[in-house]
Amino acid sequence: MEAHFHRSVTDLNIEHVVPLRYLYEEENKKLFILLHRYPSSLHDYLRDHMAEVTIDKSIQIVLDITRVVAHMHNYELVHRDIKAQNILLDNNLQVFLADFGTCQHGTENSTVIGARPLAPELTVESNHDFTYQGSGADVYALGVLMYVVAPKPIYYPITQPIIQAHIDTLVNIPNSYITLMRRCLLTEAKSRPTAHVVVNELEMIADQIANSKPCLQCFDRPRYARCLPCRHKTLCNVCFNEMQRLATPEKPPKCVLCRRLIADTMEDSDSNTYMS
């Protein structure tokens, strides 16, 4: 079955998929699948280089894999085991989705396959009427991947459902990225976005980061959010969080430009310092 689905996906000529090179069957009916050799998996890379991963690199990794999944879903093909161990990297650190042994044709599934954390609908007690939407489970796995590749000091594999305590450890991450990740991880499969929606929103987040201006305090990271009510966008998430941490009732946080008190913040795709 793996050979069949791997050949089906290869025939679709999807970018960022590990292509099937050859199938070889011996006289004893043993079937050998020959693939291109890759130097590392995403799991191994993150284990050794997690501290070097930036948010724009995280977004690009998830975006490349989500495009593959969205393309597969067009043909009612679901992967069912999207995880860092099944994503391979070439020498240019480009990612490629691999291991189609769990792939299935048709979005309605009844077999529980994949690595933990599983989508909530896969953890129910099975019976002869048990079915689930494979496309929704794929999107849940993409939400897990968004967390796994998000910048953090060290890498550790996730085997339990991602909860708020996990998300709270992430810093310097756009709210739009966090919000999209949460939507992918929703308990109700029908409430999750489709893979195509995830692609579109990741592209918008990537554009927002690429076009953003540098923080006026560290002059390194992109500006994160707009201060309210003054509507100035001046600081990155790290510098803004540090300003909030140091704030006291006597010295509340103020905009670094106009010195007005900051009552709240908002994210937007506008890179201008001031928005009327």
> What pLDDT, in 10s, does the model give residues 106-139?
555 545 455 667 777 776 654 445 455 678 999 9
Measured between alpha carbons, how far is 183 from 177 in angstroms, rounded to an integer?
A: 10
The CATH number of the domain holding residue 239 is 3.30.40.10
Statement to judge: residues 193 and 222 lie in one domain: no
Residue 16 resides in a domain: no
- The domain of 259 spans 214-276
Statement to judge: residues 81 and 168 lie in one domain: yes
Which is nearest to 139 in space by CA: 66, 208, 64?
66
Quickly state the pLDDT bin for 86 (edges 50, 70, 90): very high
Of 210, 236, 266, the last residue of a domain is 210
pTM: 0.73
Residue 236 has pLDDT above 50, yes or no: yes
Q: Which residue has the tokens 């002059």?
A: 219
Which is nearest to 12 in space by CA: 63, 102, 99, 73?
73
Measured between alpha carbons, how far is 261 from 255 in angstroms, rounded to an integer?
A: 6
> CA-based angle 137:96:102, to the nearest 5?
40
